Every structure is written in structure tokens, then in C-alpha cells.
Structure 1
Amino acid sequence: MPMSSLSSSSFNQSVIDEFRANGGKVGGPFEGGDLLLLTTVGARSGREHTVPLGYVRAEGLLLIVASAAGAAEDPQWYRNLLARPVVGVELGTEVFDAVAVPAEGSRRDRLFAAVVRAAPGYGDYQRHTERLLPVVVLEQPGDTTPREVASLADKLLEVHDWLRGQLRHVRAETEAHFADHGTGAEAPPPLGLQIRQHCLAFCQGLTIHHTGEDQGVFPALAHSHPHLRDTLDRLAEEHRTVARLKDGLVALLAELGSAEPERFRAELARLSAELEAHLDHEERELLPALADIPFPPVR
């Protein structure tokens, strides 16, 4: 029997507590099962919410299914990740962030078949509802070489590497989208959700990064490095410009289905170049000072 989102919040919490106390192992009805903890941010509340979920590995991917035990509506955690795709995952003793990307079309069908082969109960859930059960890929960072983080400069570069990676995903998937639609194929692979999730992940990550800088890093750095105060003020102002660029990126991708390819490509290239130029500029201005600050902070 697959482990879907569990209905009782008190029971959920007891499973979560047991999972964390025992390195990912739980007893009772879930003993020996493949279980992870998924933390999403509420689409409306903005609060973190953790649920235990069953998972399946197939085609080298980490998969979860928004089955809700065959209920008529998607579970709340799935609605949350559609709004904020960067999620927290606890798998055994491993803790990491992932980008949650629902599979679409024939890829979804293929992955769901693999899930059912591993955990047949999901097939029963699908037969009990008219809702097509979403299959979600939890993408771990894999297109950048992990950095050894010993200073705040290293941490800044790690975050910037991740942001650049999400932009690369958006551009590559947009090219694939237009290429598929330009071949005249009857049913090109749908990529709308994939592009949308990576775009939102970039925007979510950039917002968190800039909020942390504006409210924490920049004030502390201005105090310890007074000569950087003017630079930090300019970067904070630049953050407001970047926020408008970010909104422009979201608006542009909302037009993907009806956009003229060449105009869309040109506008996406312009927005991407300006966003990456900001990351480059921030690194030039801040890395020398941040290189002397240990990370994690020494208490």
C-alpha cells in the first residue's frame, strides 16, 4: 500500500517526530516503507508545512504522487508547490532543497506506470477518482559542481550558481518548447509546467536571497565595513530594479503558449542577461569583503 499524504495532523506529527528521531525510520503501518518528509510553503499563508509522503525512484528520479488516497481534490501540499516550487526534503538523514516539477503528458503516464509497478496501491487510488493523479519530480541540484562553503563569499557564489542554473533551465526548456511546436508533430511533449516551475523557483529563490541580504547581510556588512555603505545602498536599490525584471520574466512566460517565437526568445534573452548582470555585479562588489567572514557564522 502506498503512503500518501496522511489525513490526521496529529498522526502526521507523530510520524514526523519518529522519522526525525530515528534517521528516517518509522514503525507501525509504514515500517519498511519508502518515506520522506516534504516541507512546502503555504500558497496563501506563507507558513511552512511538513507532511510525510511515500516516494518511488524511477528512471533515476525521485517521485511523489499527489494521490490524497484517491480524493476528488489535490492535497494542499501539491497546491502549495505549484505556487512555490522550492521545497524542503528529508530523506533518511539527508536534508536538501529541491524544485518540485509535475510531469506532463506522456512523461507523466510513463512515470505513473513505473510508480504503480513499485507500489500498486497508487493504481487503486487512481481508479477511485476522476482526477488525474499528479506525479511530481523532486529535482535536486545537479548541473553545478558542489562548492566547499567556508566563507560568506562561498555561500553567495553557491546561491548565485543555483539561480543561474534555474535560468538555464528556463531558457533550455523554452527552446525545446518552440522546437517541438515548430516540427509539425501532432503531440509535442508538453513543457508548460516544467518551464513555469523553474521560472517560479528562480523568482522564489531570488526573493529569499535578496530579502536576506536587505534585512540581514547588508546591515551587518555596513556596520563591519563602513567603506562599503554606499555600495550596499546602491545594491539595495538595484534589488528593487531586479524585482521589476523578475515580474517581467513571470509575465513573459505567461504568454508562452501564444507568443511569437523570435520576439519571445529576444525578450527572454534580454531579461536573462539583465538578471545575470546583476549577479555578476554583486559578486564583483561583495566577494572580497565576504571572503573574510566565516560561514556558517562562528558564535
Structure 2
Amino acid sequence: MTAPENEIFDNPTPWVADHIRAYLDTDGVQGHLYQGWPTLLLTTRGRRTGKLRRTALIYGRDQDRYLLVASNGGADRHPAWYLNLTDTPTASLQVGSDHFTATARTATAEEKPRLWQIVTELFSQYARYQEESARELPLVILTPHVPSG
């Protein structure tokens, strides 16, 4: 039996799964701030499986846009959520109690220095991850879809 097309699979890492569950159970009252950092729930479409995948991530803001760093804790491979977004750039987000869709793109070389400053001032570990990683850590810009009407 196959999973329903819209069934969402949460990140299986235990502490991330617990964070997601608290976020969902309280509609963002618990979980939006995680150890003092703002977090959102990102749901992407799996590039290989087509399944919906949800994870919790620290985010920064640039006006109405959301900023994510595809750090993967400084690992030498991109996180799955980033690879999913490069294949299907439309994602669902929950920020606190707000639910919406957004379009993702990787910041250009010209944009990245200013945006990198925003995210590293928020979470200084990103700078260390970049120093320790053999890859360039992508900075993702998520632009919310504007409702028509």
C-alpha cells in the first residue's frame, strides 16, 4: 500500500521530530522559538520519492522574505530539504501560527554577503560551519506567495 499523496513525513531525527510535534501541537506557541532562535517548519516535495518532507529550521528575515542556510551542520553534503527545493522550489511554511506557501531560490553571489550578515548575526554557528565545510553553504531566499483577490 502506498502513502497518500499529501501525507507529510517528518524529519526522523528524534530531537527534530519532537520539535516539529511541539510546534504542530501548539500551532507554533511552543517551538517557534527554539533555544532562543526563531524557527519555521518547512515542507518540501521529495525529489526522488515525491513524498512531502517536513523539517524545522532556524530562519532570518529580509523584509517579507525568509532566509535559510543549507548548512547541514557544516557537513560536506547539502541537506535533503535544499536538494528538494532545487528540484521543486515551491514549499509550504509554518511560521508561528501562520501557514503559507513560498517560492525558494538560492541567493546570488551579489546578494549573499548582505544576507549572510543577517543570518550569521542571528546564529553565529553558520560562520563556523562555513569555515569547516569544503562546500559553499547555500543561502536560500523564500518569498511568500501573495494571495490573489
| Shorter-chain TM band | 0.7 to 0.9
Distance 1:137 1:71 in 2: 21
**Contact 2:37 2:122 (C-alpha < 8 Å) held by counterparts:** no
- Point out 4+ residue stretches in structure 1 off by more than 3 angstroms: none
CA contact (8 A) 1:58 1:115 kept: no
Identity over aligned residues, as a percent?
31
> Structure 1 residue 59: deviation in Å?
4.6
How large is the RMSD of aligned CA atoms in angstroms?
Answer: 1.9
Q: Does 1:14 align with 2:26?
A: no
Distance across 1 between alignment mates of 2:37 and 2:120: 15
Alignment of 1:44-193 (within 5 A): 44-142=48-146, 146-147=148-149
1:61, distance to aligned residue in structure 2 (A): 2.4
CA drift of 1:58 comes to: 2.6
| Cα distance in 2, alignment partners of residues 10 and 117 from structure 1 | 28
Aligned AA (2:38): D
SS in 2 for 1:139: strand
In structure 2, give the amino acid aligned to 1:140. Answer: P
Equivalent residues, number: 138
Q: How much has 1:65 moved relative to structure 2? A: 0.7
Distance 2:72 2:131 in 1: 13
In structure 2, the residue matched to 1:23 is: 27
* CA deviation after TM superposition for structure 1 residue 9, in Å: 2.4
The separation in 1 between residues aligned to 2:29 and 2:19, in whole angstroms, is 9
State the Cα deviation string for residues 16-58 of structure 1 (Å, max 9, x = none).
110011221436x923320100000000100000000000113
CA-CA distance at 1:81 after TM superposition: 0.6
- Structure having greater relative contact order (Cα 8 Å, sep ≥ 6): 2
Quote the Cα distance in structure 2 between the aligned partners of 1:25 and 1:54: 16
Partner of 2:7: none
Q: Distance in 1 between matches of 2:114 and 2:36?
A: 26
Letter matched to residue 146 of structure 1: S
In structure 1, stretches of 5+ residues that fail to align are: 1-6, 148-299
Task: Show structure 2 runs of 5+ residues with no match.
Answer: 1-10
From the superposition, tell whether residues 25 and 126 of structure 1 become closer, same or farther in structure 2 (CA, over 3 Å).
farther
Distance in 1 of aligned mates of 2:76 and 2:113: 19
- Change beyond 3 A, Cα 1:44–1:8: closer
* Aligned-partner SS, 1:57: strand
> What is the rounded CA distance, in whole Å, between the counterparts of 2:123 and 2:37 in structure 1?
10
8 Å CA contact retained: 1:67, 1:122: yes
Q: Distance in 1 between the 2:129 and 2:117 partners? A: 13
Write the letter of the residue equivalent to 2:98.
E
1:37 matches 2:31:
no
**What is the DSSP-based 3-state SS (H/G/I as helix, E as strand, rest coil) of the residue aligned with 1:34?**
strand
User: Are 1:25 and 1:31, in contact at CA under 8 Å, matched by a contact in 2?
Assistant: no
What code does the residue aligned with 2:135 have? R
